[in-house]
Amino acid sequence: MAMLIKEAQAIVGGESVTSKMPGGSINTHPIACNVGSKLRKIPGSVCHGCYAWKGRYGFGATQGAMIRRLQALTHYAWVPAMVRLVSRHKAPYYRWHDAGDLQGMSHLIRIIAVAMLTPNVRHWVPTHEYGLITRYLQAGGHIPANLVIRESAPMVDGPPTTKNGLPTSTVVTNGTATCPAPTQGGECGDCRECWNPAVLNVAYAQH
């Protein structure tokens, strides 16, 4: 018998709401970001003044939900629950971590398992956890073709990080942004570059 949506939601702590993007998304609380919590203390870094602590993310219910998702990562049925949720969205795109980041090797491997079990969905994982990705690849780890891991540059207007030969992203203030969202109501529209492994770097305007 297939897992019910409400059962899957209960296991993972619910999905996040990113209505301006296609498909679904899930986040975790930025308090547990390993690299990001350090960058947050550095003026000029992309995490300084992190948006996931303010605006709608700052509401008590939202903060509680992000903590709940963080605590759910080790649930024995997290992978099948995520597969159930990812598969239910009409648009075949999934955004991991509109807030938060990879928590460790187990978390990374579980996301990869979800991607492999949903081959018709394009997955996008932005991350500052370069060392974790390096260890995974050096151990012979495989990144499935439908999963794009974008290594995020640490500093605003800084160069992309290319430690592992993966697609990257940057944050810019000089008008060279390639993400069209700011010019179309904050929405992706028909743009899917973040999910496209052939797009080597996506530049976001600082916000």
Q: Output the pLDDT for position 63.
A: 84
Residue 179 near residue 204, CB atoms below 8 Å: yes
Would you kindly state where each structural domain of the chain is located, as residue ranges? 5-156
10 Å CB burial of residue 43 (0-12, 13-18, 19+) is exposed
Q: Output the pLDDT for position 114.
A: 98
Q: Output the pLDDT for position 30.
A: 84
Where does the chain show beta strands of DSSP type E? 24-26, 93-96, 122-127, 147-152, 168-172, 201-205
Stated pTM of the model: 0.93
Q: Long-range contacts made by residues 138-146, C-beta under 8 angstroms, separation at least 24? A: 141/109, 141/112, 142/112, 143/112, 144/112, 144/115, 144/116, 144/119, 145/197, 146/115, 146/118, 146/119, 146/120, 146/121, 146/122
Q: Output the pLDDT for position 56.
A: 67
CA dist 134 and 130 (Å) reads 6
Q: Where do we find the tokens 């942004």?
A: 177
- Reported residue count of the chain is 207
Q: Output the pLDDT for position 159.
A: 93
CA dist 75 and 14 (Å) reads 13
pLDDT in tens, the chain (207 residues): 679 999 999 999 999 887 789 999 999 988 889 999 999 999 999 999 887 666 666 667 778 888 999 999 999 999 999 999 999 999 999 999 988 999 999 999 999 999 999 999 999 999 999 999 999 999 999 999 999 999 999 999 999 987 899 999 999 998 899 999 999 998 999 999 999 999 999 999 987
Amino acid at the residue 40: R
Q: Output the pLDDT for position 10.
A: 96
Ramachandran category for residue 200: left, alpha or beta (phi over 0 → left; psi -120 to 50 → alpha): alpha
CA angle centred on 198, ends 98 and 148, rounded to 5°: 35
Q: Output the pLDDT for position 1.
A: 66
